[in-house]
Structure 1
């Protein structure tokens, strides 16, 4: 009989801090995930979506205001499997209602879970975004999650249910014009998210 497999060491925030600055690093369930910077279609979709939401919701121009809409914020959550340790997630976009977070924190990270997150999917990140990060967002009480796929040209919309689980996805495609929670005060033209 062979020796039992050696237990893999849980990564820590110090491991995340040691990652090269031109990489995106996240710490989820004790595993360090390191990705290259986003590819052009990914960056275009994230930037276009932020542009569509920033004026009406962050600034209140042509919309209700009342939000902080931020690109790539570092979120810190307690790691339930390792007391005293954290999980560090970096969604492509996140939004907080200002009534919950009246001022931005002084720290380089956010300890308060956002009200909305958006992950832009790519071949290198999709499994982590769906299988590892989405359950953490649900556990932390993020009410709304969007998954944008710039290759398939889809927007998947999730709302957190009463049981703390994501409801079924509502999927919008191609050049649809949609009103989607929590930003349904404006109509969003999905065609602006796809590179032309």
Structure 2
């Protein structure tokens, strides 16, 4: 007789395991029953997230009353059925959620998600998370790549992600779904100057 098949861990069991992780690690359930544990992001990743969050700061209900207001959450644990994603940023229109989401994990579907790509996450962000966001009904997804200094805007069409815009370097585009211009220059860490070679 062979070894018994490994037990399929439930969402609740995996969530409890995530909750026990030390602060320098984060966990997601990208596929049902499977836990992905990663170290916290590096400096280029953290900078892009912080600058994107800062650019969207004035969309908060305190500063933008009415239909243009958003709740922006950083690294919130969001449940998608039997999966758990921690998008770098997630946005909820105040017209859909008058109160800021305050559950754990969040079960309300975001209207927008942003993933900042890094060497350890880029493949799964594109191959697993982007199409799953679209299948789940997230209307908009931004993918930001600090290494090549590129921001891509994906819109969900018939449960599939469709690339509708991109911007790079020091552009100041007006990117959906937000009605404001965003200066991308602060998103990127400038390369270190090359030391002149000695004669």
TM-score by length of 2: 0.83
Q: Which residue of 2 aligns with 1:119?
A: 115
SS at match of 2:161: coil
Structure 2: state its 5+ residue gaps. 191-199
SS at match of 1:43: helix
- 2: CA distance, partners of 1:8 / 1:134: 28
Is the deviation greater in 57-66 or in 31-40?
Answer: 57-66
Q: Which residue of 2 aligns with 1:179?
A: 174
The 3 A distance-change label for structure 1 pair 159 and 103 is same
After TM superposition, which residue ranges in structure 1, 4 or more long, deviate above 6 angstroms? Answer: none
RMSD over aligned Cα, in angstroms?
A: 2.4
Q: Which residue of 2 aligns with 1:194?
A: 188
The 3 A distance-change label for structure 1 pair 169 and 122 is farther
Q: Which residue of 1 aligns with 2:51?
A: 48
Q: Which residue of 2 aligns with 1:156?
A: 152
Q: Is the CA contact (8 Å cut-off) linking 2:154 and 2:164 kept in structure 1? A: yes
Q: Is the CA contact (8 Å cut-off) linking 2:114 and 2:144 kept in structure 1? A: yes
Q: Which residue of 1 aligns with 2:24?
A: 22
Structure 1: state its 5+ residue gaps. 80-86
Q: Which residue of 2 aligns with 1:146?
A: 142
What displacement does 1:164 show? 0.9
SS at match of 1:111: coil
Is the deviation greater in 44-53 or in 20-29?
Answer: 20-29
Is the deviation greater in 135-144 or in 102-111?
Answer: 102-111
Structure with greater Cα Rg: 2
- Residues 1:35 and 2:31 aligned together: no
The 3 A distance-change label for structure 1 pair 130 and 4 is farther
